Structure formats: C-alpha cells, structure tokens
Amino acid sequence: MNIKLKEQTSSIDYTLLFFTAVLSLFGLVMVYDSSVVEAVKDFNDSYYYIRQQIIWVIIGLLSAGFFTFFNYHNFKRLSFLMLLFSLILLVAVFIPGLGVSGGGAHRWLNLKFAVIQPAEIIKLTSVIYLATIFEKGVRLKPFLILLTLITFITAVLQKDLGSTIVFATTAVMIYFVSGGRWWHFLLLLPAGLLAVVGLIFTSSYRFQRVLAFLNPFSDTQGFTYHISQVLIALGSGGLTGVGLGQSRQKFGFIPEVTTDSIFAIVGEELGFLGSLVLIGLFLGLILRGFEIARHCEDRFGKILATGLIVWLGIQTVINLSSMVALVPLTGVPLPFISYGGSALVANLTAVGILLNISRDTKT
C-alpha cells in the first residue's frame, strides 16, 4: 500500500488553526479551573486532571500535525479498515477486564496505559468511511446497515444515547449533502423519532432526564439535581461572571463538572459575555469549516470536510443546548473544552484533516 504525504506547497487555513488553538488553550484553562477541587478530593493532587489533559493535547496536536500533511485521498484505501478497527474497539468494552462501566453504561475501554471511549473514535472513522462510499454517489443500503449497527451498539448495548444522536445526525446529514433523496428523510425521521422515544421509555434513567428537562426544579435533591445545579451556576454568573477561578458550584455541586458540564463553570465565572465569546469562537470554527468544504473542488474532500465540521458542530450544539435546558442532558462532551482524551484527540485529528483539505482549496 503506497501512502504518501502531500507534495503541494499551498498554505493551510490559518483562520481555522487560530480558532482551534484558542479553543484548545481555553479548554486547558477551564479543565484546570474546574478540576482542582475534584482532583484534590479524588487524588490528593490538584494538578492531576490538567496534567492528563496536557498529555492528550500533545497527542492530539501531533495527530493533527501529521494529518495536516497526510494526503487525505489515502483515506479511500484505509477507510474500511479504520471503521472495522473502531467497531472492534466499540464492542471490546463488553470484554471483562477491558471494558469499564459506570452508571449502568458500558462506554470505556481500559488499555492499562489509558482509558478511551471508542464511541468518540467511531464518530471520526464513520465520517471518513461515509465520504469514501458516497464519493461516486449515495448508496442507501450500506448507509442503513452502518447506521443501524452503530446505533444499536451505542444506544442499546452501551446505553450512550448522546453519542448515538451525534453519530446518527451526522451520518444522515452526510447522506443528504452527498445527494441522498429527500423523500428518504421522510422515512428516516419517523423511524429515528420512534427509536429515540422507545429508548427513553424503556429506561427510567433517560425518562427522568426528560422529566428534568421539562421541569428542572421539580426535584432538586433528586432526578433534577444535575440540571438545576447547572442552571444555578449559569444564573450566578450574570452578565460578567463571578471571576475566573471563583466558581462556587465546582465545589462538589455539579456532577461531571470537568467533562459534560464544564460550560456551567464557564458561564458562572465569565458570565453571559464570556459565554458569548466562547460560542463565537465555536461559530467561527464551524463557519470556517464549511467554507473549506464549499471551496473544495474534489468531491471526496468536499463530503469529508462537510462531515467533519457537521460532526463538530452538532456535538457543540447538543452540549451547549443541554446546559441551558433547551434539550435534555445527554452526556456529550464539549469539543476542545471538556476533559477527556478520546474526544480531544479525535477532535484535533478532525481539524488536522480539515487543514489538509484546505490546502487543496482556493480560499
């Protein structure tokens, strides 16, 4: 297999690189800020989480740097193997001794040297695979097989509805951007809604999250505790926030404060204006990604770039929406900001591929 790096000397998209760098640096600041109390409590080391996150950032940057100069057309030959490897990791979480469960969910894989979440990896590899099979035209059958298989594993077996929604929404968007018929959407939408409703009503945990979404303060010491504490943090921040590092809600009040709920600390400490700046950075990154896709003259690159930025955008919107109670809490990390190696490395790798594609555009 002959795999080459890019030989052309055209410039990468420095605007996308800027947004990514600022978001990643801000993520490091907020991970340290939000994790100090939890790190001292769990490990008697206030630097535990930030030290781990810095390692993941370095790995992510190395991956992004490599894929910036790795000819993305090589993915056409590698996509199936990458997807197959991701699927193996996805089911490996059920192997005793390898899989790590928590809260009734099986989402993590203990590799001894690191704990990873395969669902984050398959979001990336599935985008690459779909771009490959759709390059010469949409193919409904393999798309439905992939959609059904991964959805079943992540939603039903792993009980990770948040990742399932991100994956499924991204996959469907890629299908239609690639030229899928819109009447297929009329068939997929009811099926998807029925599946989500079925998953909610067959799980008391998910059903309670829907109830908490409908009335966040109905049981503040019970099933609405999480969202009510998040909203208290955001409300406490007001217009300008209580000050960086001055959060009170990070003192054991907000669950998953370093991961899925980290935006609550951003809102509390930096206020509405600070949150608006963060949202603006995400918006800038997403718009720049779409610009790269729009100007790419290669169909494979156009579909790949669109899929990658749609994935990052959807995950961002779902996380932020759940934090302000626009949708139920889903357990989806905020790209580049939340603590966690799998998601961060996958996100930075996606940016590396986008930068690679930008070298073939005329923006």
Is the CB of residue 52 less than 8 Å from the CB of residue 341?
Answer: yes
Element (H, E) at 116: strand 115-116
Task: Answer yes or no: is pLDDT of 2 > 80.
Answer: no
Question: Could you tell me if residue 9 is inside a domain?
Answer: no
The answer to which of 123-127, 154-158, 334-338 has the lowest mean pLDDT is 154-158
Distance (Å, whole) CA 309 – CA 285: 9
DSSP 135: T
For the segment 179-234, what is each residue's pLDDT rounded down to a tens digit? 888 777 777 778 778 888 887 877 777 888 888 888 888 878 888 999 999 999 99
- CA of residue 249 relative to chain centroid, distance: 24
Query: Residue 1: its pLDDT value, please?
Result: 53
Question: Could you tell me if residue 363 is inside a domain?
Answer: no
Q: What is the pTM of this model?
A: 0.92
Element (H, E) at 108: strand 105-110
| DSSP string for 319-347 | HHHHHTTSS-----PPTTTSS-HHHHHHH
Q: What is the mean pLDDT of residues 279-289?
A: 97
Q: What is the mean pLDDT of residues 23-36?
A: 96
Question: Could you tell me if residue 7 is inside a domain?
Answer: no
Strand ranges across the sheet with 115-116: 99-102, 105-110, 115-116
Written as one letter, the residue type at 73 is H
Query: Residue 10: its pLDDT value, please?
Result: 67
Taking only Cα atoms into account, the Rg of the chain, rounded to an integer number of angstroms, comes to 20
Q: Where are the alpha helices (DSSP H) in the chain?
A: 14-43, 48-69, 75-92, 118-133, 140-151, 161-177, 182-201, 204-214, 225-237, 262-295, 299-323, 341-358
Query: Residue 358: its pLDDT value, please?
Result: 94
Query: Residue 105: its pLDDT value, please?
Result: 67
Residue with the larger pLDDT of the pair 212 and 358: 358
Question: Could you tell me if residue 35 is inside a domain?
Answer: yes
Query: Residue 11: its pLDDT value, please?
Result: 84
Query: Residue 4: its pLDDT value, please?
Result: 55
Query: Residue 23: its pLDDT value, please?
Result: 98
| DSSP string for 45-95 | -TTHHHHHHHHHHHHHHHHHHHHHHB-GGGHHHHHHHHHHHHHHHHHHTTS
Task: Answer yes or no: is pLDDT of 9 > 60.
Answer: no
Question: Could you tell me if residue 200 is inside a domain?
Answer: yes
CB atoms within 10 A of CB 205: 13
Confidence label for 5 from pLDDT (cuts 50, 70 and 90): low
DSSP 152: I
**Owner of token pair 């003259």:** 297
Give the number of domains in the chain.
1
Q: What is the mean pLDDT of residues 276-299?
A: 96
Is the CB of residue 70 less than 8 Å from the CB of residue 89?
Answer: no
Q: Which domain holds residue 125?
A: 14-358
Question: Could you tell me if residue 5 is inside a domain?
Answer: no
Question: Could you tell me if residue 3 is inside a domain?
Answer: no
Confidence label for 111 from pLDDT (cuts 50, 70 and 90): confident
Distance (Å, whole) CA 88 – CA 126: 13
**What is the maximal distance between C-alpha atoms in the chain?**
61
Confidence label for 104 from pLDDT (cuts 50, 70 and 90): low
Question: Could you tell me if residue 126 is inside a domain?
Answer: yes
The answer to which of 41-55, 211-225, 300-314, 336-350 has the lowest mean pLDDT is 211-225
Confidence label for 354 from pLDDT (cuts 50, 70 and 90): very high
Distance (Å, whole) CA 123 – CA 166: 8
